[in-house]
Amino acid sequence: MKSVLFLRQTILFVAFIILTTAASCQPADTCYKTIQVAEKTWAIVENNSVNIYVVEGNDSALIIDTGYGTGDLKKYIRSLTKLPVIAVNTHGHEDHAGNDHQFPNICAHPDDFGMINSHFEGQGKSNTILIPIREGHIFDLGGRKLEVIEVPGHTRGSICLLDPSHRILFAGDNTNTVVWLFLKECCPLEVYLKSLQKVEKRMEEYDIIMPGHNTPLDKTFITEQIACVKSILDGTCSPVPYNYSSFTAGAMLCKFKTAEVAYDPDNLFIKK
Ligand SMILES: [Zn+2]
């Protein structure tokens, strides 16, 4: 009898392990970890990989990106803020726009609408309405305003969000320790350099960068990124192949101090 009981317990335990592994994102909040990164500002880290930011004003909260879509983000956000929410995409990649279908409206740059709509096709019919936002658009959350800065490069419709009251730049994938500029939807590196110089010009207004992936960066990181891109364009960098995955074949990598840029050597300059 004892051995039967032991066997039953073992089977139940193994079944529990299999179930919890297979459904590692159920309940929904097990996909997400929250870190408070500033006053009324949280990073929701999904699958230890991508950052979703929740930015609270007095009247509403801005959700910056929606992540991979592996959990119930809308429900999870309610554990952080009770205010009405506005959702925005820094760009259209699916690790940043994967839960867009949960929201009635998504603000994004129209140059990335095609990419965002293609994710909806994968998720079945969506009633989400895309709202175009461009350079200079202000999200007024009540006592806290965030400004849209267009930064084409990583994608054509990439944006940063400047939060001068909290001295933060939310950068999406425009600023990461390694920035990907080798994808087919990326702009020539020369265009990306102009975007970096544009946010560098606003440096008096922020101290810290909240990137799309990994931990916050000091604003001086942008100066390193600029030096890195310039060294690629003027040929002074000695690149190495970027062996991240099979889909990075042909991409090259340059490094300057702590900044790395992975790029396509055939997409450096604007074609005249
Ligand atoms: Zn991206």
- DSSP calls for 13-49: HHHHHHHHHHTTT-SGGGGEEEEEEETTEEEEEETTT
Domains and CATH numbers, the chain: 28-134 (3.60.15.10)
The dihedral sign for the CA sequence 180, 185, 187, 192: negative
CB neighbours of residue 78 within 10 Å: 11
pLDDT of residue 5: 43
CA of 199 to the centre of ligand 1 (A): 18
CA of 183 to the centre of ligand 1 (A): 9
CA of 136 to the centre of ligand 1 (A): 22
Give me the mean pLDDT over the 196-213 stretch: 98
CA of 74 to the centre of ligand 1 (A): 21
CA of 172 to the centre of ligand 1 (A): 7
pLDDT of residue 121: 83
| Res 262 pLDDT > 90 | yes
CA of 77 to the centre of ligand 1 (A): 22
CA of 98 to the centre of ligand 1 (A): 12
**Among candidate residues 131, 108, 268, the one with its CA nearest the CA of residue 254:** 268
CA of 175 to the centre of ligand 1 (A): 10
| Res 8 pLDDT > 70 | no
Encode pLDDT of 82-111 as tens digits.
999 999 999 999 999 999 999 999 999 999
Question: Are the C-beta atoms of 188 and 261 separated by less than 8 Å?
Answer: no
CA of 251 to the centre of ligand 1 (A): 16
Distance, CA of 73 to CA of 28 (rounded, Å) = 8
Question: Are the C-beta atoms of 165 and 55 separated by less than 8 Å?
Answer: no
Query: What kind and span of H or E run contains 137?
Result: none
**CA distances (Å), origin 87, targets 22, 62, 77:** 29, 6, 11
Task: Please tell me whether residue 138 adopts helix, strand or coil conformation.
Answer: strand
Encode pLDDT of 109-139 as tens digits.
999 999 999 998 866 668 999 999 999 999 9
pLDDT band (50, 70, 90) for residue 25:
low
Mean per-residue pLDDT of the chain = 91
pLDDT of residue 12: 38
CA of 91 to the centre of ligand 1 (A): 7
| pTM of the model as a whole | 0.90
CA of 6 to the centre of ligand 1 (A): 50
CA of 151 to the centre of ligand 1 (A): 12
CA of 118 to the centre of ligand 1 (A): 15
Q: What is the largest CA-CA distance in the chain?
A: 82
CA of 10 to the centre of ligand 1 (A): 44
CA of 90 to the centre of ligand 1 (A): 9
pLDDT of residue 29: 62
CA of 185 to the centre of ligand 1 (A): 10
CA of 93 to the centre of ligand 1 (A): 5
| Res 9 pLDDT > 90 | no
pLDDT of residue 272: 81
